Amino acid sequence: MGLLDEVLKQVGAASGGAADARRTLATELCGMLAGGGPSRGLGGLVDMFNEKGLGDVVNSWVSTGRNLPISAEQIQAVLGSSQVQALAAKAGIDPQKASHVIAQILPQLVDRCTPNGQMPTAGGVLDALSGFFKKT
């Protein structure tokens, strides 16, 4: 089972149904973490969380300790409604559902990108995510 399948299995158990939508959102979020979109990569995403007063949450995902949860409303506040709407449209689901699924997937993705509790070097996010879509 690949890392994507593992994360989606965990998320699927929590959110039920819509496996294709979850897979699409996970794929899009991986692209964001790798440097695509308005988040400017993982570092830009961390900056966005800090700017919105949620640095403790995102820092828990980067560190080696327990990941703090995030709500769908907090995801909306950090990413912005236009970004969430764009992601929801790609996944074919409503923005509220997308926010909920993103809140479940994003902590796990950031955690996977920072396995040693440190921000990766340039290209390190791609390396960390390179096995994400592979099946074993």
Q: Which residues contact 64 (CB under 8 A, 6 or more apart)?
A: 116, 117
Per-residue buried b or exposed e for 115-127, using 16+ beta carbons within 10 Å of the residue's own CB: eeeeebeeeebbe
Which amino acid is located at 22 in the chain?
Answer: R
Q: How confident is the model at residue 41 (pLDDT cuts 50, 70, 90)?
A: confident
Mean pLDDT of 16-40: 81
Q: Is the pLDDT of residue 4 over 90?
A: no
**Residue 135 within any structural domain of the chain:** no
CA 62 to each of CA 55, 57, 93, 115: distance values in angstroms, whole numbers, following the listed order: 10, 9, 28, 8
Number of domains in the chain: 1
Give the range of the structural domain holding residue 50, as residue numbers without chain letter.
3-129
User: In this structure, what CATH number is given to the domain that contains residue 125?
Assistant: 1.10.10.690
